[in-house]
C-alpha cells in the first residue's frame, strides 16, 4: 500500500505540472494571435449601417479601455492567474460583459452529454464487435462488419453528418435536425423538455458513433488477435475451457487495459469530432462556441474553453493511471 501511496503522490505532482504547463501554452498562443478583438468589434459594429469616419477613433479608444486590454502582457498574465484561482475567466470579449464561465456553463452540458453518450456507445459496441472479430477469425459476418466499420472511419465528419441529416431529416423525415430541444419549450426538468432533448440528440449521436466506432473495432481486433497467440490462451483452449469464457475472461480483460487508456485519451479529442457535427445539427455545445471565439479573436473565451478541456482530460488521464496497476497485475508500481 505504501508504494501505491507514493505512486499516487508522484502522479498527482505530474497532474499539476501538466495542467499548469498546458494552460500556459494556451495563454501565450491565444495572446500571440494577431486577431484583435477591438478591431473585430469595430468591424462588426460598422459593417452594415451608417458610419462616420470621425467616430471610429473615438470608439476604438473607448473599447480598448472597456475590455481591459490595456497593460502589458505580464500584467495580463498575472491578472489571468489571480482570476483563475476563483474559477473566473473574466468577461467574454465577443459577448461583453457576460463572463466566460457563464457561457461555458451553458454549453458544456450539451457537449458533454453528446460526447459521453456517443463515445460510450462507440467504445462498448466497437470493442465487443472487435473482440469477437479478433477471436472468431473465420466468421464471415464479422469480417463484413469489420470492412464496414473500417470503411466508415475515413468519412469526414461533415459528410457523415450531412448524410445522416439528409437520410433522416429529409428523405425519411422522422427525427428533428435542428437545435438541442424543441422550439418554445422552456428548459426545465419536465417531460416535454427531456423527451425533446433525447429526440434531438439521436441524429448527432448517430453520426458521431458511426465515425468513431471503426477505430475502436480495429484497435480491439488487432489487440485480440495478438493475445490469441499467447501461451495461456492456447493452454486454455487445449484444456477445453468454454470458448466464450476464454474470450471474455482471458482475452478481453487483457485487451481492455490499453483500450481504457485510449478511452481516456479520446476524451481529449473532444472538440474535433464535435465541432462539425454540432455545427451541422445546430447543437448548442462548446464546439460552435469555440469556433466563434476563435473567429472573433475572443481570447478570454478560447482560453476558458481550452483550460476547461485541459483540466478535464488531465483528470481523466490521471484517473486512468491510478486504475492501471489495479487492473493489470503485471504492471508493477514503483
Partner 1 sequence: MRTLKMLGFVLSSLLLGEHAIAQADFLAGIPRNEVLIAENPEGRITNSTWFNIWVVNHGSNSNGLQQLGLDTLWYIDADAGIDGVWDNSLASEKPTYNTDFTEMTVKLRDGIFWSDGVEFTADDVVYTVETQMKNPSMVWGPAFQASVDTVTAPDKQTVLFKLKRPNSRFHAIFTVRWNAAWIMPKHIFEKQPDPTKFNFNPPVTLGPYTLKSFDPNGEWYIWQRRDDWKRTTLARFGEPGPKYVAYIDPGPPDKRVIMQLNHELDIIHDTTPEGMFTLAKQSPSSHGWFKGFPYAHPDPTLPSVILNNEVEMFKNRDVRWALALLIDMKAVSLASYRGAATISAIGVPPTGLYPKYYFDPLEDWLKNFEIDTGKSKYKPYDPTVAQQIADSLRPSMGDRIPKDPKEIATAFGRGWWKPNPQVATELLERAGFKKEGNRWMKPDGTPFSITLLVEGDQRPVMTRAGTMIAQQWRQFGIDAKAQAYPSDFFPRVASGDFEAAMAWSVETWGGHPDLSFFLDSWHSEFLKPAGERQPPRNWQRYSNPELDKIIEQIRAIGFDDPKGVELGQEYIKLAVKEMPMIPLMSYNVFTVMDTTYWTGFPSAETDPYTDPVPNWANTKYMMVKLKPAQPK
Partner 2 sequence: MLRVFRDLFRYNREFAAGTILVLIVLSLVVASFFSPYPPQDSYVVPPDVPPCWAYPLGTNSRGQDVFWQLTVAIRNSLLFGIAVAFLSRIISLVIGLVSGYTGGLVDRVLMSINDTFVVIPLFPILTLFYFMMHDHMSWTLLALAMASLGWPYDARLIRSVALSLRNREFTAQSVFSGMSTRQILLEEHLPYVLPIVFSTTMNNINWSIGLEVTLSVIGFTNIETPTIGTMIYWANQHTAMVAGIWWWVVAPVATVIMTFIGLFLLSVSVNEFIDPRSRLARMGV
- Among candidate residues 148, 179, 228, 182, the one with its CA nearest the CA of residue 236: 228
Give the integer Cα–Cα distance in Å for 26 and 86: 19
What is the footprint of partner 1 within residues 221-250 (CB under 8 A)?
none
The residue (of 134 and 176) whose beta carbon lies closer to partner 2 is: 134
Residue 159 interacts with partner 2 (CB under 8 A)? yes
Residue in 18, 19, 45, 84 binding partner 1, rule: CB under 8 A = 45
Q: Cell numbers 514503483 label which residue?
A: 334
Task: Give the phi and the psi of residue 41 in degrees, each rounded to 5.
Answer: -65, -45
Contacts of 102 (CB under 8 A, 6+ apart): none
The residue (of 247 and 314) whose beta carbon lies closer to partner 1 is: 247
User: Measured in whole angstroms, how far is the alpha carbon of residue 89 from the centre of its chain?
Assistant: 20
Residue in 3, 6, 17, 124 binding partner 2, rule: CB under 8 A = 17
DSSP per-residue letters across 206-257: HHHHHHHHHHHHHHHHHHHHHHTTSHHHHHHHHTT--HHHIIIIIIIHHHHH
Shortest CB 181 distance to partner 1, Å: 8
Residue in 71, 156, 173, 192 binding partner 2, rule: CB under 8 A = 156
What is the footprint of partner 2 within residues 212-251 (CB under 8 A)?
215, 218-219, 222-223, 225-226, 228-229
Residue in 179, 219, 262, 325 binding partner 1, rule: CB under 8 A = 179
Q: How many CB atoms lie within 10 A of CB 146?
A: 20
Binding partner of 313, given partner 2, partner 1, none, CB within 5-8 angstroms per partner class: partner 2
Give the integer Cα–Cα distance in Å for 109 and 112: 5
Q: Which x/- pattern, by CB under 8 A, does the window 162-191 give for partner 2?
A: xx--x-------------------------
- Whether the CA torsion 84, 73, 41, 299 is positive or negative: it is negative
Helix (H) or strand (E) holding 284, with range, is none
Contacts of 200 (CB under 8 A, 6+ apart): 176, 178, 179, 180, 181, 182, 281, 283
What is the footprint of partner 2 within residues 88-147 (CB under 8 A)?
147
The residue (of 10 and 245) whose beta carbon lies closer to partner 2 is: 10
Residue in 130, 146, 297, 304 binding partner 1, rule: CB under 8 A = 297
The residue (of 206 and 227) whose beta carbon lies closer to partner 2 is: 227
Shortest CB 206 distance to partner 2, Å: 17
Judge whether 220 and 259 are in contact, CB under 8 Å.
yes
The residue (of 55 and 163) whose beta carbon lies closer to partner 2 is: 163
- Among candidate residues 22, 17, 243, the one with its CA nearest the CA of residue 138: 243
Give the integer Cα–Cα distance in Å for 266 and 239: 38
Shortest CB 267 distance to partner 1, Å: 22
Judge whether 304 and 140 are in contact, CB under 8 Å.
no
Residues that bind partner 2 (CB under 8 A): 10, 14, 17-19, 21-22, 25-26, 29-30, 32-35, 147, 150-151, 153-159, 162-163, 166, 215, 218-219, 222-223, 225-226, 228-229, 257-258, 261-262, 265, 268-272, 275-276, 290-291, 294, 302, 305-306, 309-310, 313-314, 317, 324, 328, 330-332, 334
Amino acid at each position: 500500500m505504501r508504494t501505491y501511496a507514493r505512486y499516487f503522490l508522484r502522479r498527482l505532482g505530474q497532474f499539476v505540472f501538466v495542467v499548469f504547463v498546458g494552460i500556459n501554452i494556451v495563454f501565450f498562443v491565444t495572446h500571440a494571435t494577431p486577431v484583435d478583438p477591438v478591431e473585430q468589434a469595430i468591424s462588426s459594429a460598422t459593417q452594415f449601417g451608417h458610419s462616420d469616419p470621425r467616430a471610429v477613433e473615438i470608439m476604438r479608444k473607448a473599447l480598448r479601455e472597456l475590455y481591459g486590454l490595456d497593460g502589458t502582457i505580464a500584467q495580463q498574465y498575472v491578472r489571468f492567474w489571480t482570476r483563475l484561482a476563483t474559477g473566473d475567466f473574466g468577461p467574454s470579449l465577443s459577448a461583453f460583459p457576460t463572463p466566460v464561465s457563464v457561457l461555458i456553463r451553458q454549453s458544456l452540458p450539451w457537449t458533454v452529454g453528446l460526447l459521453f453518450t456517443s463515445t460510450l456507445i462507440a467504445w462498448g459496441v466497437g470493442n465487443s464487435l472487435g473482440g469477437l472479430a479478433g477471436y472468431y477469425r473465420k466468421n464471415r459476418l464479422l469480417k463484413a462488419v469489420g470492412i464496414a466499420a473500417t470503411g466508415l472511419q475515413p468519412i469526414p465528419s461533415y459528410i457523415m453528418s450531412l448524410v445522416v441529416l439528409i437520410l433522416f431529416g429529409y428523405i425519411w423525415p422522422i427525427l428533428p435536425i435542428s437545435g438541442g430541444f424543441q422550439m418554445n419549450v422552456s428548459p426545465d426538468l419536465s417531460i416535454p423538455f427531456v423527451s425533446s432533448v433525447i429526440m434531438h440528440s439521436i441524429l448527432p449521436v448517430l453520426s458521431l458513433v458511426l465515425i468513431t466506432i471503426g477505430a475502436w473495432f480495429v484497435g480491439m481486433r488487432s489487440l485480440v488477435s495478438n493475445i490469441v497467440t499467447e501461451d495461456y490462451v492456447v493452454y486454455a483452449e487445449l484444456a477445453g475451457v468454454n470458448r466464450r469464457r476464454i474470450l471474455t475472461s482471458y482475452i478481453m480483460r487483457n485487451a481492455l487495459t490499453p483500450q481504457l487508456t485510449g478511452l481516456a485519451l479520446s476524451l481529449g479529442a473532444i472538440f474535433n469530432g464535435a465541432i462539425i457535427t454540432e455545427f451541422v445539427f445546430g447543437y448548442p455545445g462548446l464546439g460552435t462556441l469555440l469556433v466563434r471565439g476563435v473567429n472573433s479573436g475572443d481570447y478570454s473565451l478560447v482560453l476558458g474553453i481550452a483550460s476547461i478541456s485541459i483540466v478535464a482530460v488531465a483528470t481523466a488521464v490521471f484517473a486512468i493511471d491510478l486504475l492501471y496497476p489495479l487492473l493489470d497485475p503485471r504492471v508493477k508500481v514503483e
